[in-house]
A and B are shown apart, each in its own frame.
Chain A
Amino acid sequence: MIDFSDEMLERYSRHILLKEVGVSGQEKILSARVLIIGAGGLGAPAAMYLAAAGVGTIGIADADVVDLSNLQRQIIHSTADVGKAKVLSAQETVNAMNPDVKVVAHRLFVDSSNIAEIISGYDFIVDGTDNFPVKYLINDACVLHKKPFSHAGIIQFKGQTLTYVPGAPCFRCVFPNMPPEGAVPTCRQAGVLGVMGGIIGTIQAAEALKYILGVGELLAGKLLVFDALTMNFRKINVNKAKTCPTCSEGAGIKLIDYAAPVCDLKKH
């Protein structure tokens, strides 16, 4: 049981008033540990909202430094942070937002040699990365180590997300074959409306909070697809693939670093 100061009661009052949260819910949030892999378009808003909510421990993993082109959407960083390590910039923003939150800065690239150890210290993982080899690695590691996580991606005016909890379909159930480099356009090539990270990243944060609180329906077994041009959200039911190499019974998945083979496929 956490001893709430008057200041904490004031800070989290809008949470505590909710029947689904209350004092016990806010205690759960303050005791929770969420890891965000990638402090970019998706990870930035996710981290900020989780910090505002009072998630007690927020891990942020990213090896990069802040680039000017990031600022159009990675709102956790500002102009003065260009050139600074992303995890440090993110940590500073979070500390200023909420002193109740402890940020653990993992200044590294997540790979098959370190991911198991890193995720072991967290209750929920947010995939905010931008490349498929690491997205598949995150999927496999979370399934193997029974860690719930939120998968998401954005491009141009579209975004999508699904949530994995043990027993639900994993990302590989839906997308069994990793596309080679060049087969799928990146934000750098095709562009992205800045707010897409905010819309989808905040949904990822909402899923993390719902998981922590144990309320509502998660996007488990559902791919939520959003198109900002039409303002249409679609929730598509997806099933576990019986022969999924990651999550089917007896799959025996091993964590490897997927080197996306370079190809000369035309982009679609």
Chain B
Amino acid sequence: MSEYDNYIDITAAVCPITFVKVKVALERTDDGKILYIKLNDGEPIQNIPRSLKDEGHKVVKIENNGDGTYGLYVVKNGL
């Protein structure tokens, strides 16, 4: 796992609350810093990277944890 400044686990949440929780975590993250998001396969991994990009954040790495979850590293307002 790489370095990050803030962390959120949304594997227990259901869309669209998944992205809502990500937004809350981003709010608590400074510009330019990295948020690590643990999310599920399926709707979350399909939609969240694109939603983040739409809002100006830069996804820098996605890790497949091999257990049905992914780890996503995003730079706040990094685009």
Contacts and interface: CB of A to CB of B under 8 A. Distances in A.
Whether chain A touches chain B in the assembled complex (some CB pair under 8 Å): yes
Interface in B5-64: 16-17, 19-21, 23-24, 27, 54-55
A6 B10 CA distance: 12
B55 to A, nearest CB: 6
A9 B21 CA distance: 8
Contacts of A10: 17
A13 interface: yes
Nearest to B27: A23
Contacts of A23: 23-24, 27
A13 B20 CA distance: 6
A5 to B, nearest CB: 11
Contacts of A242: none
B17 A22 contact: no
Contact of A4 (B16, B24, B55): B24
Contact of A22 (B16, B21, B27): B27
Q: In the complex, which of the residues A4, A19, A23, A24 has the most CB atoms of chain B within 10 Å of its own CB atom?
A: A23
**Helix, strand, loop or mixed for chain B's interface?**
helix
B27 A17 contact: no
Contacts of A9: 17, 20-21, 24
Contacts of B21: 9
B79 to A, nearest CB: 13
Interface in A11-28: 13, 16-17, 19, 22-24
A17 B20 contact: yes
B66 to A, nearest CB: 28
Interface residues of B, number: 10
Contacts of B19: 17
B20 A16 contact: yes
Given A19-B54, A19-B55, A24 B20 contact: no
Contacts of A13: 16-17, 20
A125 B16 CA distance: 33
A167 to B, nearest CB: 31
Nearest to A3: B24
A23 B54 CA distance: 16
Nearest to A12: B20
A6 B17 CA distance: 9
A1 to B, nearest CB: 8
A4 to B, nearest CB: 6
Nearest to B19: A17
Contacts of B16: 13, 17
A22 B16 CA distance: 13
Nearest to B51: A17
Contacts of A16: 20, 23-24
A13 B15 CA distance: 10
Contacts of B17: 6, 9-10, 13
A78 B23 CA distance: 39
Given A17-B23, A19-B54, 5 more contacts: A4-B24, A9-B21, A10-B17, A16-B20, A22-B27
10 contacts: A9-B20, A9-B21, A13-B20, A16-B24, A17-B20, A19-B55, A22-B23, A22-B27, A23-B23, A23-B27
